[in-house]
Structure 1
Amino acid sequence: MEQIKNSQLTVEIADHGAELVSVKDAQGKEYLWQADPKYWGRHSPILFPIVGSLWNGVYHVCGKDYPLSRHGFARDMDFHLIAKGDEQVVFALHDSAETLKKYPFHFNLAVSYRLKDNELHVVWHVENPDDKTIWFQVGGHPAFRVPDMKQGEPLHGRLRFDNSEPIRRFLAEQGCLDRSRHEEVRTDKGVWSFDTHSFDNDALVFDHSQIRRIELLDAKGKAVVTVQTKAPALGIWSPSGKDAPFICIEPWYGVTDVDGFDGELRDKYLVNQLLPGSSFMSEYVITIG
């Protein structure tokens, strides 16, 4: 476990999965979900080399099948600490004999966490050391405690989006996207109220960069947590029917498979391409208060 700290925030990150496990303010108040397995036993997994699920649980590279579980393997692997300072830490994961069985490419994945005042910057850096083009998806899955919820209460909360127009979401089919079916998510001047049934059709998945700033509001309408991203897709999720007291706000460079998709990895919707020797870098920012 590694810790970074400044005058406003104290953040802890696990070596396993390079997973963010705690974000506290100067008064010691915790904002990140604490992985109660009764509801969901994770805090903020890193999604790589896929986001979401694969149709029939497999993808294809040059005609060969590769089974891979939901959200890929990075979240379940130990990362190496490669840099550490008072306010920044960097973890890395490289291809291995184990990963090559699941993902037939050489890669370097680095994840850094950096504090700036009351902001936590989460940066992904993917490098292609291979002699051929690689394809991948990457995403975040941070879960935040819903403010003003008491023990045993039904899930209730509000998010404020930087888009007050009706927002188009995908509907799902067997855990994958049905691109022929959409519905509008309407808000009250950008404010969306949610409960456990808001997720009966699984996560809300938005593409086309419709939302870039999301605020988690308290009962008075004040932003408690803000997530900012330039990612092309966004997922919002809490487990349906459990009244779990958390909400996930997930920046994604990629989405779960479209239903019935049986093509090559390179043809997946919102897949990223890296030529030999090239790299990809992006970040999202969590602001507390």
Structure 2
Amino acid sequence: MITIQNTKLKATFNELGAELASLINLKTGKEIMWEGNPDFWGGISPVLFPIVGALKDEQYIFEGQTYELPRHGFARRRIFTLKESSENEVIFELKSDEESLKIYPFEFSLEIIYTLVEKKLTVSYQVKNLSEKEMHFSLGAHPGFAIDTKNGLNYNDYEIAFSDDEKLEIHPLIDNLISNETQTIELDNKTLSLSYELFSKDALVMTTMKSQELVLRNKQNNHKVIFTFSNFPYFGIWAAKNADFVCLEPWQGIADLENHNQELIVKFGIVKLEKNEDWIADWAVEIE
């Protein structure tokens, strides 16, 4: 485990998946991240690469060949190299290798940079195409934030405020694939109240959300975290059944549409990089 900290925050990371494992508010001692209880969901903040969500039949086709990839890809199951580390910043890197090329035929470098400044943790991603050919990929974040249900509080005391949305257009998931149909959730003054029932049919998947700032807050005590992101056009909100967390998930790419032909190059939301080209995106969480 790798740790960085300043006077406000302490962050801990696992080299497996370069995953953020803990973020502690040093003023209050409060843990911001979900505990990763495997009885509900063993993840905390996995990186989703080189796909987001599920493929139809867990397969895709590229240049006439069929490959298999598990849901959310393989990066979260790989050991990253610790490239650089300082008191307030850490950089992890994952590169393609003989094993990855069997299931994903592109040479790449994926760097994840975690930086602490005052009360904010910023997470930046840089993907570089090291192949001779055009590279196709998706990447998503999946951080789970703890919901405090102790000392008289409950899950329904929490809400998410959106900076620029009056309503949410949701794509339902059907056997882990994206429906072409949409459902509308009307927000109350740009605010979504949390409940266990909200996720009874899986994640809320959005491809047209306008907001790039969300505030997760407790209505009883006004404890909150401010969540911002850039260069992620799609978004998911999810929690496991009856579990005390909520995931705020900025994505570049989504699961296969239910009528997708499995061809990678025409997959909805796929990113295309030319040789030696970079793609950069980030998200941040600020503690209030």
What's the TM-score once normalised by structure 2's chain length? 0.95
Q: Distance in 2 between matches of 1:245 and 1:84?
A: 32
Correspondences of 1:40-55 after superposition (within 5 Å)? 40-55=41-56
Correspondences of 1:17-36 after superposition (within 5 Å)? 17-27=17-27, 28-36=29-37
Is structure 2 residue 276 aligned with structure 1 residue 270? no
Tell me the matched-pair count: 285
Correspondences of 1:237-252 after superposition (within 5 Å)? 237-239=238-240, 242-252=241-251
Q: Is the 8 A contact 2:56 2:262 kept in 1?
A: no
Shift of 1:200: 2.0
* CA deviation string 1:43-102 (max 9, x = no partner): 100000000000111111112111111100000000000001110000000001111111
1:104 match: 105
2:133 match: 132
* CA deviation string 1:157-199 (max 9, x = no partner): 31111134122111122111111x1111111101111212211
Shift of 1:17: 0.3
160-169 vs 10-19, which deviates more? 160-169
Q: Is the 8 A contact 1:211 1:234 kept in 2?
A: no
Correspondences of 1:144-155 after superposition (within 5 Å)? 144-147=145-148, 149-150=149-150, 155=155
User: Quick one: structure 1 residues 36 and 151, their matched pair in 2 at CA, closer, same or farther if it must change by over 3 Å?
Assistant: farther
Q: Is the 8 A contact 2:162 2:215 kept in 1?
A: yes
Shift of 1:208: 2.9
277-286 vs 201-210, which deviates more? 201-210
Give the secondary-structure state (helix, strand or coil) at the position aligned to 1:220: coil
45-54 vs 184-193, which deviates more? 184-193
Q: Is the 8 A contact 1:215 1:223 kept in 2?
A: no
Q: Distance in 2 between matches of 1:258 and 1:13?
A: 33
2:259 match: 260
Q: Is the 8 A contact 2:165 2:209 kept in 1?
A: no
1:167 match: 168
Q: Distance in 2 between matches of 1:223 and 1:70?
A: 33
Is structure 2 residue 5 aligned with structure 1 residue 5? yes
Q: Distance in 2 between matches of 1:121 and 1:167?
A: 26
Give the secondary-structure state (helix, strand or coil) at the position aligned to 2:260: coil
What's the TM-score once normalised by structure 1's chain length? 0.95
Q: Distance in 2 between matches of 1:151 and 1:32?
A: 18
2:281 match: 282
User: Quick one: structure 1 residues 154 and 224, their matched pair in 2 at CA, closer, same or farther if it must change by over 3 Å?
Assistant: closer
Corresponding letter in the other structure for 1:201: K
Any unmatched runs of 5+ in structure 1?
A: none
User: Quick one: structure 1 residues 153 and 244, their matched pair in 2 at CA, closer, same or farther if it must change by over 3 Å?
Assistant: farther
Give the secondary-structure state (helix, strand or coil) at the position aligned to 2:31: coil
Corresponding letter in the other structure for 1:276: K
Report the identity percentage.
32
Q: Distance in 2 between matches of 1:91 and 1:252?
A: 20
Give the secondary-structure state (helix, strand or coil) at the position aligned to 2:30: coil
Is structure 2 residue 92 aligned with structure 1 residue 91? yes
Q: Is the 8 A contact 2:216 2:225 kept in 1?
A: yes
Is structure 2 residue 212 aligned with structure 1 residue 212? yes
1:188 match: 188
Is structure 2 residue 20 aligned with structure 1 residue 39? no
Q: Distance in 2 between matches of 1:77 and 1:225?
A: 29
Is structure 2 residue 65 aligned with structure 1 residue 64? yes
Q: Is the 8 A contact 1:154 1:196 kept in 2?
A: no
Any unmatched runs of 5+ in structure 2?
A: none
Runs of 4+ in 1 over 2 A off after TM superposition: 150-157, 208-211, 219-223
Q: Is the 8 A contact 1:164 1:188 kept in 2?
A: no
